[in-house]
Structure 1
Amino acid sequence: MSAEEAGGVFHKAQGRTLDAFSAEKEREWKGPFYFIQGADPQFGLMKAWSTGDSDSGGDEWEQEIRLTEQAVQAINKLNPKPRFFVLCGDLIHAMPGIRAVFSGHYHRNAGGTYKKLDMVVSSALGCQMGKDTHGLRVVVVTAEKIIHRYYSLDELSERGIEDDLMDLMKKK
C-alpha cells in the first residue's frame, strides 16, 4: 500500500459517513462475508448492580475485563476471520481512581490536566499531522504513579524501552 493510499484510511468519519472500506474496491459484490457486533462491556456495572449502588458502586472491573478478554479470544479463534468487529453501546459505567486518560485520533502528541486528571493524546502510527514521528507511547503503571513516554518506531525498535522505565516495572 502506498503512503497516499494509507493516508486515506485515517480519514474514516467525515460528514457523518464512515469510509472504512475503499469505495473503488467495494463497488462490486465479491461474495458473502460476516462481521461481529458486540455491545455494552460497561466496565463497573456488574459490581454496581450486585451491590445495589448503581450510582457509585462501579469501582471494580474484574468481571467485565474477564468477559471482554474471553470475547477477544473467541473472535481471534474464528476461521475465517470476520471482516470487522464493531463495539457499540456503553464502554464504561464508572471510573475507579482514574488518573489519566490515553487517547489518539489527533495525529500528533498533545495533552493537558484538569482537576488532577491527565489527558494524554498519542500521535499516530500512520499519517502524521504535526511534527511528531510515527510512534507508540509506553505507559508504566505502578501503585504510586503512571509514567508515560512517546517513542518513535525507530527508537523503540533500535533501543527498546529506557532503563528507568524498565526499573519501575521490576520493583515490587
Structure 2
Amino acid sequence: MAESEDIFLRAKHRTFSGLTEDAEREWTGPFYFIQAADPQLGLMKAWRDGDCDGGGDEWAEEVELTKQAVQAVNQLRPRPRFMVLCGDLVHAMPGVKAVFSGHYHRNAGGRHDGLDMVVSSAIGCQLGEDTHGLRVVVVTADDIVHRYLSLEQLSARGVDDDLRKLLQV
C-alpha cells in the first residue's frame, strides 16, 4: 500500500518526480506511453436511451470500463513510461452553452445557434494585442459569464465585483 501511495505523491507542482528535465534531457532509448480518450461518463446510457440532451445521469458502465483500462495498463510489462487521458471526461451534451479553448494566443470567439465559442489568450506568448492573462468563468443556474483579466488585474484586485456577486446564493 505504501508504494501505491508514493506514486501519487510523486506528482505535484505541475511536475512528476519520475519525469524530471534532468533525468529526461538526453535520449536513453525507446519507451512507450499509453494514450486513453473519452471515458465520457454518462454517454452510454444517453445514447442507448436516445436522450443525448438529458440522459447522462448514470455512469456505472463507463466507470467499470475505466477501471478495466487502468487495471490492464497496470499489468503491462514492461510498464509504460506514463499515461495520458484526453478528450471528454464526462458527457457534456446537455446544457452546453459555451465551449472554451485556447491555442490561438489571442482572445477571439463567436456565436452560432446559441452556442458561444470562447478562445482565451495565452498566459505566455501573445500573438495579438491582448495582455498575458486568464479567463474567469462564472457559471450560475441561468447563465455563464466570463471575462478575460490580465495577470496584473487579477493580482491587484482579484475577480471583479460583478462576477463575485454572481457567486453569492
Which of 131, 151, 159 pairs up with 1:133?
A: 131
The aligned amino acid for 1:56 is C
TM-score w.r.t. length of structure 2:
0.62
* Bigger radius of gyration: 2
Deviation at 1:83, TM superposition (A): 6.6
Distance 2:50 2:37 in 1: 19
Deviation at 1:39, TM superposition (A): 2.9
The aligned amino acid for 2:141 is A
Contact 2:105/2:121, CA 8 A, preserved across alignment: yes
What are the residue-to-residue correspondences of 1:64-79 with 2, within 5 Å?
none
Contact 2:52/2:94, CA 8 A, preserved across alignment: no
Instruction: Give structure 1 regions of 4+ aligned residues with deviation exceeding 6 angstroms.
Output: 31-34
Equivalent pairs, count: 133
Partner residue of 1:56?
52
Partner residue of 2:165?
167
Contact 1:44/1:58, CA 8 A, preserved across alignment: no
Structure 1: where are the runs of 5+ without partners?
Answer: 1-21, 75-81
Which of 30, 45, 48 pairs up with 1:47?
A: 45
What are the residue-to-residue correspondences of 1:1-172 with 2, within 5 Å?
26-29=25-28, 37-48=35-46, 52-54=48-50, 56=52, 59-60=55-56, 63=59, 85-88=83-86, 95-170=93-168, 172=169
Contact 1:58/1:93, CA 8 A, preserved across alignment: no
Deviation at 1:41, TM superposition (A): 1.5
Contact 2:52/2:93, CA 8 A, preserved across alignment: no
Q: Rate the CA distance shift 1:103–1:144 in 2: closer, same or farther, 3 A.
A: same
Q: Percent identity?
A: 65
Distance 2:103 2:145 in 1: 21
After superposition, the CA RMSD in angstroms is 3.6
Q: What is the DSSP-based 3-state SS (H/G/I as helix, E as strand, rest coil) of the residue aligned with 1:129?
A: coil
Contact 1:59/1:94, CA 8 A, preserved across alignment: no
Deviation at 1:86, TM superposition (A): 1.8
Deviation at 1:148, TM superposition (A): 0.2
